[in-house]
Chain A
Amino acid sequence: EIVMTQSPATLSVSPGERATLSCRASQSVSSNLAWYQQKPGQAPRLLIYGASTRATGIPARFSGSGSGTEFTLTISSLQSEDFAVYYCQQYNNWPQDTFGQGTKLEIK
């Protein structure tokens, strides 16, 4: 099983600032990496796929980068609605997908 490790577990950032979230795979997943946002009481929402492609309707302030085993989600200027939990997911070993444990992005 490919293990996905996210860091940090919690990130405190002020609105308007930049947030950088990390995800590491236990083995290469090429660019088969997605990011999801989950708000309390809601289902996850796909943000990024292919490591760097924004899903339909996702604002440009969200960007993804990386390949192989190291990936980053950057939110360039945090809005109030961005404070949520973010998960990475590898689908290189589809359908045996695995998710990271999540990073909680909170208001500083």
Chain B
Amino acid sequence: EVQLVQSGAEVKKPGESLKISCKGSGYSFTSYWIGWVRQMPGKGLEWMGIIYPGDSDTRYSPSFQGQVTISADKSISTAYLQWSSLKASDTAMYYCARPQTSHWPYDYWGQGTLVTVSS
């Protein structure tokens, strides 16, 4: 069974750094892209970026380029989303998701990680 299990909720202060994770299991982690999607409180879904763990090919939405870093550690089947300096506007639910292949929608989703940034 394909599973994406994300790290737990985080409460941070503005200016702090953060790295959240998404562990894949039940499939060959290096053979499938993993994307990240933001959902701000009460709002819709925004695609942030995607990584291919096999060769670390990473693409970003222009809206998020330079704001976050996506990475993966294939030795532990885990993808990451990180911030170097959080802002209050980063408060959101973040989902990782996996498409069946490239040029495909997201079949599998993590449970989400709630990030709250508040002074």
Contacts and interface: CB of A to CB of B under 8 A. Distances in A.
B105 A46 contact: yes
Given A43-B110, A43-B112, A99 B44 contact: yes
A44 B107 contact: no
B105 A89 contact: yes
Contact of A99 (B33, B47, B110, B112): B47
Given A94-B103, A95-B35, A45 B109 contact: yes
B44 to A, nearest CB: 5
Nearest to B52: A95
Interface in B33-81: 33, 35, 37, 44-47, 49-50, 59, 61-62
A65 B10 CA distance: 40
Contacts of A46: 105-107
A58 B86 CA distance: 38
A100 interface: yes
Contacts of B107: 46, 55
A101 B44 CA distance: 5
Interface residues of B, number: 25
A49 B59 contact: no
Contacts of A43: 95, 97, 109-112
Interface residues of A, number: 23
Given A46-B106, A94-B104, A87 B47 contact: no
B119 interface: no
B109 A44 contact: yes
A94 B105 CA distance: 9
A43 B111 CA distance: 6
Given A43-B95, A43-B112, A44-B95, A91 B50 contact: no
18 contacts: A36-B105, A38-B45, A43-B97, A43-B109, A43-B110, A43-B112, A44-B37, A44-B45, A44-B106, A55-B107, A87-B45, A91-B103, A91-B105, A95-B102, A96-B61, A98-B47, A99-B45, A99-B46
